[in-house]
Structures are given as structure tokens and as C-alpha cells.
Amino acid sequence: MPNQYIKTVKFGGSSLADAAQFKKVADIVLSDKTRRYVVPSAPGRRFDGDEKVTDMLYACHALASKGKKIDSVFDKICDRYNSIISELGLDLSLADEFKTIYDNISGGAGDSYAASRGEYLNGIILASYLGFDFVDAAQCIFFTENKQLDSEKTNKILGEELAKHEYAVIPGFYGSMPDGSVITFSRGGSDITGSVVARAVQAELYENWTDVSGFLMADPRIVKNPETIDVITYHELRELAYMGATVLHEDAIFPVRLSGIPINIRNTNRPDDAGTMIVAKAPKESSTTKVITGIAGRKGFSVISLEKDMMNSEIGFGRRLLNVLENHSVPFEHLPSGIDTMSVIVSTHELEGCRSNIMHEICVECNPDRIDIEDGLALIAVVGRGMVQSPGTAARLFTAVAAAGINIRMIDQGSSEFNIILSVEEHDFEAALKAIYAEFVKQ
């Protein structure tokens, strides 16, 4: 059962990029005493063109592995932390830590170790500034031999450890391997640490503080000032994330989802904004529920189309077709089919180096009457739990796209009733997205 007196809060790199940002973070954390477990990222960019500490640490590792001195980059990292410490007026010195890290990286420590030190050092500073305990993630977040999070061991040991600390800072992004060496999640992985911590302490809420006020209903580079999504389900988020809408690391969903803990995306620079709530089950739909939750899309798809008389009664046609793709390790995205036609949509880049072999093998295996391949397609996902109860959604969608003079190349409603996928030619992509947004959200 989630504990209503515990929140886990994670702050991204831009939220902790300098002393001024640290002050905002402290105001947020200390204004609510249920914000008990804090997960920091490493200092991110302070301005366009600035360097992230994590990138500089990877650069140190790269220099060391070529036998070069790391001083020029390492000194810049130390300066970043030292200026945060002095501007916050902390009585803290990281000199010993810097020396150990310098020696380890120069002495051949791995890239994971190097990269993880960004969060580690930031965690020490933040714990000192907040007056919270520091709990090293290497002691309580565990990975298996094959470098996957060992969820159950971590959940138990981390839960037991954090029960000993009323307030604690746990650095994001890393844990340890069975041999004790440090390992990181993939880039952006502090989001996962936050989720793992929220589960271990059975938090009522996982707040993920970043530099945007939640998920937007559409890409702001295409739609001007899109609205923020107030509530989104894990399922909807998965569909939108697959199509390229990113704010949160994809793997961050699983730990909290297991325990039904909602995630609230919040903006450190605009703490009064409610942000986006990510929930397992949306509150009961009301008349104000929007028909669609979000629109996302990507370019760069190809479609292989096949036609064959009596295809529908030919046993094994689809299997043989997909086998060819599997043999070339090419995943397929969609498989719309008619009575005597079948199309496979794949990412164009997956076909690099194997396109003509695939086409040839499909001809041999499936013996189609006609086969062709066309590049330059874009996919658009229109996602919304409100679609189920709104008859006519598909008609409105297609009418809006047609009215913009755009030809829809494929439609796939899949088996979920809250996602319609359209394919259009790449040059129509932006116009189609705008037309859909205007129809369902606002002109």
C-alpha cells in the first residue's frame, strides 16, 4: 500500500545545473515535508552550448583510455562543483573525492564508473545543502550479471536501507554489478532510479522535476503552443513515447507501475504549474475528458506491399514474409492487410545493407503476383482513452486530414481502441499533424 506521507522526487540535470537551480530545488523539497527521498541527476547545461558534466566525464574516460592526461577536462568538472559549493555557502570540500575519482579514471576505471561520478558528487552536495542523509546508490541498487536491474533484490535492500533514513538523497543513474563494480543505466537513467526508489519506499507519488511543465499534446516545433496533457495513462504514454514523444526515460515506468504509484512531471522553473500526471487508470471519464490525449509521429518509414490472388486462403503466407524480416533482424512496425494484399511497414534505416536481399527472399518465399517498396512515409499516432466513448472519432480524423488536401496512405487502429495510426507521405507530415490538432484540440 502506498504511504501517503512519502513522496520521491527526482530532479533532472537542468534543475541542478548551478547554484541558482539548487536553490529552487531546495525550496521545492523543503516546502513539503513528505518529499523525503530525493534523486538528483548530474549538473546539466546552464545555457545553450554548455557542457553536461556526464558528457565531460565520458570525455575523461575516453582520454584516459587512449593513455592521455585527463586534467584539462577534469579541472573543468571540479570547477563546476566548486562554484556550486561556494555559491551555496556550504562548508564542504570535495577535494578528497576529486582525487580518488581522478586517480581511478586515470588508472583505467570503466566508462560507467566515470559517468556515475556526476550524480555521486551532485548527491553529496545536495544532501549537504538540504541537511538530508546521503545514501550511495552503489550500496543498494543492484544489477544482474547480464547488466539488467535486479528489481527484487534492489527493492528489498533499498527499502530496508531507506527505512533507516527519514530524509535522504540517493544519486541517480547508477548501481552496482554482482562483483561490486559500478554500472549505469542508459543515458537519462536517473529517471529509472527515481522510479525504483519510489517503489522501494512505497511512495504515494513519484515527482519527476524537469524543465518543462509536463507532456505537450503535440510537438511544439510543429504545432504552435500546444496544450499540456494533464492526465495520461501508462498505456497512452507508451504509445506516444514509441512515436518519439520523450520527456521521461521509457524504462522509468515499470517499477512504479508495478506498485500503482503515479508519476507527476513538474517544472522546477515553474513550480506552480500542475504538470502532467501519469497514472495506471485514468479517473472516471467525464464530459470534459478530451477525445484525444496526444498526437505524435515520426518520419523515415518504408512500406513493402505485396499482392497475390487468393492470399487470404494461403496458409503460412504471413509467417514466411515475417520470417524473411526476422532472418535479417529487421523489426516490423505495422502489418496492415487486405484480402489479397499485405503491407509491412518498417523503419527505412533498418533496411540499410539488406534491402535487395529482403526483396529477393520475399519473392522466393512468398511468390507474390506483385511486390514493391516505397520509402518516404511518416507515421502519426493519435492517442486518447476518450476515443472509446466518442463515436465518429475516426470519421472526424480522416475528414480533417482530407480537408487539408492530404492523402492517407494507411490506417491502423490495431487492437487498442485508444490509438489510431495513420501513414502519410513525409512531405505531408507537418500539415497532417496540424490539421489533426486543430480538429480535436484547438484551431
Per-residue cell: 107: 588508472
The backbone region for 165, taken as left when phi is positive above 0, alpha when psi lies in -120 to 50, beta otherwise, is beta
The whole-angstrom separation of Cα 293 and Cα 236 is 8
**Considering beta carbons, is residue 245 or 401 the nearer one to ligand ASP?**
245
**Least distance from C-beta 192 to ligand ASP, angstroms?**
8
**Identity of the amino acid at 247:** V
Considering the complex, state which of residue 172 and residue 275 has its C-beta at the smaller distance from ligand ASP: 172
User: Please, which residue, 61 or 290, has the CB nearer to ligand ASP?
Assistant: 61
Residue 225 main-chain phi, psi, to 5 deg: 45, 60
Beta carbon of residue 142, minimum distance to ligand ASP (angstroms, whole number): 18
Nearer to ligand ASP, 185 or 301 (CB): 185
Rank residues 190 and 302 by Cβ distance to ligand ASP and give the closer one. Answer: 190
Residue 11 or 418: the one with the smaller Cβ distance to ligand ASP is 11
Contacts of residue 389, Cβ cutoff 8 Å, sequence gap at least 6 = 285
Quickly list DSSP for 399-413: HHHHHTT--EEEEE-
Of the candidates 12, 7, 46, the residue with the CA atom closest to the CA atom of residue 29: 7
Cβ at position 186, least distance to ligand ASP in Å:
8
Q: Which residues contact 370 (CB under 8 A, 6 or more apart)?
A: 305, 306, 307, 308
Residue 187 CB, shortest distance to ligand ASP, in Å, is: 4
Min. distance of Cβ 40 from ligand ASP in angstroms? 9
In the complex, the smallest distance separating the C-beta of residue 112 from ligand ASP, rounded to whole angstroms, is: 11
Reduced to 3 states (helix: H, G, I; strand: E, B; else coil), residue 358 is helix
Cell of 441: 484540440
HSE, CB side, 13 Å, CA atoms: give it for residue 356: 1
Q: What are the backbone angles phi and psi of residue 147, rounded to the nearest 5°?
A: 65, 25
φ, ψ for residue 295, nearest 5 deg: -130, 135
- The site for ligand ASP (CB under 6 A) is made up of 13, 41-42, 52, 54, 118, 172-173, 187-191
To ligand ASP, the closest distance from the beta carbon of 155 in angstroms equals: 20
Instruction: Identify which of residues 188 and 297 has a Cβ nearer to ligand ASP in the complex.
Output: 188
Residue 86 exposed, middle or buried by CB count within 10 Å (0-12, 13-18, 19+): exposed
Provide the minimum distance between the beta carbon of 248 and ligand ASP in the complex, in angstroms, as a whole number: 10
Q: Which triple of cell numbers denotes residue 216?
A: 505537450
- CA dist., res. 280 & res. 265, Å (int): 15
49/331 with CB nearer ligand ASP: 49
Choice between 121 and 421, CB closer to ligand ASP:
121
Task: Determine contact, residues 10/206, Cβ cutoff 8 Å.
Answer: yes
Q: Rounded to the nearest whole angstrom, what is the least distance from the CB of residue 98 to ligand ASP in the complex? A: 18
Closest alpha carbon to 191 in 136, 260, 240, 264: 264
- Give the span between the Cα atoms of 2 and 141, in whole angstroms: 20
Cβ closest to ligand ASP, residue 187 vs residue 427: 187
Chain residue whose CB lies nearest ligand ASP: 190
Helix (H) or strand (E) holding 264: strand 263-267
As measured in angstroms, the least distance from the Cβ of 47 to ligand ASP is: 17
Q: What are phi and psi of 80, to 5 degrees?
A: -60, -50
Question: Of 187 and 319, which CB lies nearer to ligand ASP in the complex structure?
Answer: 187
Cite the DSSP H helix spans in 163-233: 190-200
- The distance of closest approach from Cβ of residue 191 to ligand ASP in the complex, given in angstroms and rounded to an integer, is 6
